[in-house]
A and B are shown apart, each in its own frame.
Chain A
């Protein structure tokens, strides 16, 4: 084999892989409008990517790979529909305004230089429709918008591949039987529907950020996918402050990625992290987004969460954190999103402002409330507060409770260390 073709093949393979990573969602979303069926669309997009390898080796890599792939996939979809017109007419189809379809079908899409309309917003609202269970929303979003195979989705969420495949099948069936539309919701429904989309992206990020141990590579990949989706949504809905707020929240949280674990994979607490290694440009980008959102009007849940994370990150040191301001922001957050988890997190800055005793009272109130039983951060925070007021024995017990509930190995190792330290001083 000569060097020439080898380089060509490697170059083409890289181009196809790159287009898969960046453009899958765009290509699938555009194809789904023509195919009017998500399974057919997926099949056609897969075939388009497969045919790209040979076509690009022979004819060169196109200037606009996404347009080439979209045209190829759409053409396959149109062929399939023409072939099976009578059959397909009997199938429930993805609901779409008819005139657009007829338009697409009569256009002979041969010009890959065409600007392809961005249909990803329709696709994400369909994937995250509230008529679908959230685990299905997550699986559909990863499969259809990010092009991640069912096997990798399964690995990321520690479930079997057949479970993910069944979820995807069920969800697609419901989309077609219940006629979940392929459309961006109307203005009146938009805020609620957007919340579901933001929740899915946030959940993906969180699952990657502190996942149970296992496929460590895939965890970073989940964070990257969530970031990619957040950026995409911001491009598609630039005017929405909660969309910008979510992107800012992910940027701030991920800026600390390199310092959250030590060389041995051990957990490093926020107060012990090396702030000089935080991603300053990500923090600055988030800061600008947050300031813009706060100026735009009363902040929502994600803007407030981002503002809190940003205040934590912008302090020159842990001790110089603006604790009173963080408590104020938590109060605002509780107004718009009153959940026990938010109330628990508020106890951390509250301890710095009003003392550990006051924060402990708040945590104990939440403990009696019962909704957080099973949430290991509650006993972990309680243990830290008990330790700070010298109730070492009780702190050790609370750390043990947290240890029993925690599933992440790095967190368990950290908690085991705390149990040992406090049991010694008992």
Chain B
């Protein structure tokens, strides 16, 4: 098995601070399905583009790093035996049929920081 990161590209993230359950319904449902199927390793939904702040060299600007029609709205990591299997899973993301798309990238390495809570 190998791990693949799936980057979600959409006009914007549905996960606004004041988002209603309806706004995030399709992405939440897909996330549940992936978790139940056992393919998902972890998943992060990001806030909309307005919340982004970018740094290039010494300059700090508001907005996403790349000025483009689509932004990264979230990402998740899945486990799959090969690229075709990973693509088959990634293709199920509702964003693919909602005007956006996904990018699948093999994971090169990972690390979780040890943290003490409290």
Contacts and interface: CB of A to CB of B under 8 A. Distances in A.
Interface of A: 95, 129, 131, 177-181, 183, 185-186, 189
Contacts of A189: 84, 88
Interface of B is mostly: helix
B103 to A, nearest CB: 11
| Nearest 9 pairs of A and B residues by beta carbon | A181-B82, A95-B82, A179-B82, A178-B83, A178-B106, A180-B83, A179-B83, A179-B2, A181-B84
17 contacts: A95-B82, A131-B87, A177-B106, A178-B83, A179-B2, A179-B81, A179-B82, A179-B83, A181-B81, A181-B82, A181-B83, A181-B84, A181-B85, A183-B84, A185-B84, A189-B84, A189-B88
A183 B83 CA distance: 11
Nearest to A179: B82
Q: Report which residue of A179, A185, A186 has the largest number of chain B beta carbons within 10 angstroms of its beta carbon.
A: A179
Contacts, number: 27
Nearest to A95: B82
A38 B106 CA distance: 19
A183 B88 CA distance: 15
A95 to B, nearest CB: 4
Say which size band chain B's interface belongs to: under 10
A264 B45 CA distance: 67
A185 B83 CA distance: 12
A179 B108 CA distance: 12
Contacts of A131: 83, 87
Given A131-B87, A183-B82, 7 more contacts: A178-B83, A179-B83, A180-B83, A181-B82, A181-B84, A183-B84, A185-B84
A180 B82 contact: yes
A177 B83 CA distance: 9
Interface of B: 2, 81-85, 87-88, 106
A123 to B, nearest CB: 15
Contacts of A185: 84
A357 B82 CA distance: 55
B106 A95 contact: no
Contacts of B87: 131
Contacts of A186: 84
Q: Report which residue of B81, B83, B87 has the largest number of chain A beta carbons within 10 angstroms of its beta carbon.
A: B83
B106 to A, nearest CB: 5
B102 to A, nearest CB: 13
A181 B84 CA distance: 7
A178 B84 CA distance: 10
A179 B107 CA distance: 11
Nearest to B91: A189
Contacts of B2: 179
A343 to B, nearest CB: 27
Nearest to B80: A179
B69 to A, nearest CB: 21
B118 to A, nearest CB: 40
Contacts of B88: 189
Nearest to A183: B84
Contacts of A178: 83, 106
A177 B109 CA distance: 12
A378 to B, nearest CB: 30
Contacts of A177: 106
A131 B87 CA distance: 10
Nearest to A193: B84
Nearest to B2: A179
Q: Report which residue of A178, A183, A186, A189 has the largest number of chain B beta carbons within 10 angstroms of its beta carbon.
A: A178
A257 B111 CA distance: 61
B85 to A, nearest CB: 8
Contacts of A180: 82-84
Nearest to B88: A189
B8 to A, nearest CB: 19
Nearest to A177: B106
A178 B2 CA distance: 9
Nearest to B84: A181
Contacts of A181: 81-85
B55 to A, nearest CB: 29
A343 B85 CA distance: 38
B92 to A, nearest CB: 13
A180 B83 CA distance: 5
A306 B82 CA distance: 36
Nearest to B1: A179
